[in-house]
Amino acid sequence: MDGINLNTFLIQIRGIGPRFITKLKKLKIETVRDLLWHFPVRYEDFSKIYKIDELIPHQEATVQGVIQEITGRRAWRRNLYLVEALISDDSGSIRAVWFNQPYIKNILRPGKLANFSGKVTASSDDLYLSNPTYELINEHFHHETRHTGRIVPIYPETKGLTSKGFRYLIQPILENIEPIIEIIPEEIWERQGLPEINTALRHIHFPDDFNDALTAKKRFAFEDLFFLQLFNINERLKLAKEKALAIPTDIEEIKKLIATLPFELTISQKKTLWEIVKDLEKSHPMNRLLQGDVGSGKTIIAALAALTVARNGEQTAFMAPTEILARQHYQTLTKFFPQFDNGIALLTSSESKISYGHNLETTLSKPRLINQITSGKIKIIVGTHALIQKGVAFHNLALVIVDEQHRFGVRQRATLVKDTHTVPHLLSMSATPIPRTLSLTLFGDLDLSLITELPKDRKPIVTKIVSSVNRDKTYDFIREQIKKGRQAFVICPHIQPPTDDPQFDEAEFLKLDLKNVTEEYHKLSHTIFPDLNVAMLHGKLKPKEKERIMREFLEKKFGVLVATSVIEVGVDVPNATIMMIEGADRFGLAQIYQFRGRVGRGEHQSYCFLFTDSSSKTTQSRLKSIIEAKNGFELAEKDLMLRGPGEFLGEAQTGIPDLAMKAIQNPELVKNAREAASSIIKTDPSLKRHSLIKERIEEFKKRVHLE
């Protein structure tokens, strides 16, 4: 095993055969670095070796003994093969039993000394070890055990590759790898009381005690947070050097615009608008995230910012993730600002039109509309990501507004303004309330504006927790409401699983007892509401099909929409007054709050029904907090504490490594990482003296896809 380093491909290492390589690829593990950074999720304490006569039922224990006999037989249950061994030490004997592992009979031979670690189970007449991990011991020389007689690491596994397999692969690599260069300056990890990298890697995989494992995990969590904070600070510095068009604020003009609105802005809305226009006045680009609950009026604030830019003769691009949302933003602008006659355009893959105020709307071919945008005649352009495709050029783009995409970096902005020396201001909008610690960690390069209150004319949404005994009564109420012309969302926590997937475990799925959207759709449309029009929407549908269903729901072509969480970030349907959530206990609090915000947006009283078959006090208490919470931010903080950030945000969406994700709940560690990153940048802003750190930031950026 000579010459192994972090970049060595596992396929090049003798002893790691094709069977391992294929399994590892499923977990995206191809190099030594990938393998060593595949950290344990937990540890089992098999460090104490017990005498056989000391064992008690239900104990997790390690014994060391000689194999007296070993047999294999097929059990009376079909497809079940039992291997049974008799193990003895100087205090007594115990049986060990393995299920469906016939090969063990060829490994564990009578007369061999071995460690056995596992659960002590009681049968009717005796104790036995159930499926214990085993490890042969050489009596003549001492060697460090991997699987028994120690703190044993348990890894994320894949079919055919267990934690034992990972330990088998990792230990010899750790023993033979070239020393890894420490990138974090010594004074930083010493000040934090953390081990250096080589020690940390050994301790995270094969700790001598739980404290070793804990400090090693803390070290790697700190490292990820440190590079994340360095990235954020770097982005801020980079942006501060860029030039943007300074947009002077005409307060009187803004007051006149606000006065034309048919409602009064909340204090929160006024505060955030002020923060935005003050940023627009600067000659370096704004980088601001506007957060607020569903229906809190973020679009109006973004629209007022766009109009401010337009009054100054510059352009705004307003981007939404779907055509329906883009159309909704376009309609908000044209509805509330009919006096604006400098052109508001809608550009998506299926629509291209311009409004010149007072219902003067024209549909144009795409080339003609793009030509008008390029000439600068149209000041506000609303659309999907079609706006940043080839062929679309702006005349003088000063502001980019992005809905539900927190990161839209300098590189993406540069694609919008070719051949100019300025970078547009950026206003990002999100209806997902993100706790402050999370915001500082994930979006530390963005300034934060919060809308913490809903418009004053909103009727409170009546929210009820519905147990199984009250289902029929609630269904009757929903039917009455739909017969009156209202509409209802029904949210399910799961869609039909892919039963043809070899990795799919049907028993596990059934055990979870998740409500299934296709089953729910058939139940509601055929059994509960056969007299109503019911439609179904889930993430496996093609985008155009999703768009069609949402559009038809908006046009009142059906009364009930059964959906998965794809509607969490969705359109405004003022006529929808009922939000029914199946298996509400399966969702996070912040997510339920988001769902509920989809109703209560029109003149009629709205209702949210949280269906649960769980009678546990914890579930009831969690769901009651939805009814009691003042706003989404309060709930998000609670959700973060209860579920952890990985569940809260979805780790796949952020790409942030597991350890850093969990560490976000430790404000002290986040603060320390931020301070350490700031101290480096303060003394070496361009990282000339820290070239390895500079390289790692780039690597880290790619690894966690931050843009």
Q: Which of 566, 632, 544, 671 is nearest to 291 (CA)?
A: 632
List, for residues 499-556, the tens digit of each pLDDT value: 444 444 444 444 443 457 888 899 999 999 999 999 998 877 787 888 888 889 989 9
Q: Which residues contact 124 (CB under 8 A, 6 or more apart)?
A: none
Q: How many helices (H) and strands (E) does the chain have?
A: 25, 23
List, for residues 676-688, the tens digit of each pLDDT value: 999 999 999 888 9
| Residues 4 and 153 sit within 8 Å (Cβ to Cβ) | no
Which DSSP category does 15 fall into?
A: T
- Give me the residues of the chain with pLDDT under 70, please: 1-2, 77-78, 139-144, 359, 405-420, 436-437, 440-442, 494-515, 566-571, 642-658, 661, 703-707
List, for residues 557-587, the tens digit of each pLDDT value: 999 999 887 664 456 788 999 999 998 988 8
Domains and CATH numbers, the chain: 1-46+154-178 (no CATH), 48-149 (2.40.50.140), 251-451 (3.40.50.300), 462-630 (3.40.50.300)
Question: Measured in Å, how far apart are the chain's first and last C-alpha atoms?
Answer: 38
Query: Order of strands across the sheet with 560-563?
Result: 462-466, 607-611, 576-581, 487-491, 560-563, 534-537
Looking at residue 407, its pLDDT comes to 54
Which DSSP category does 307 fall into?
A: H
- The structure's pTM equals 0.71
Distance CA 591, CA 595 (A): 6
List, for residues 602-658, the tens digit of each pLDDT value: 889 999 999 998 888 888 888 888 888 777 777 777 777 766 665 555 544 455 666
Q: Which two tokens stand for residue 174?
A: 């750790």
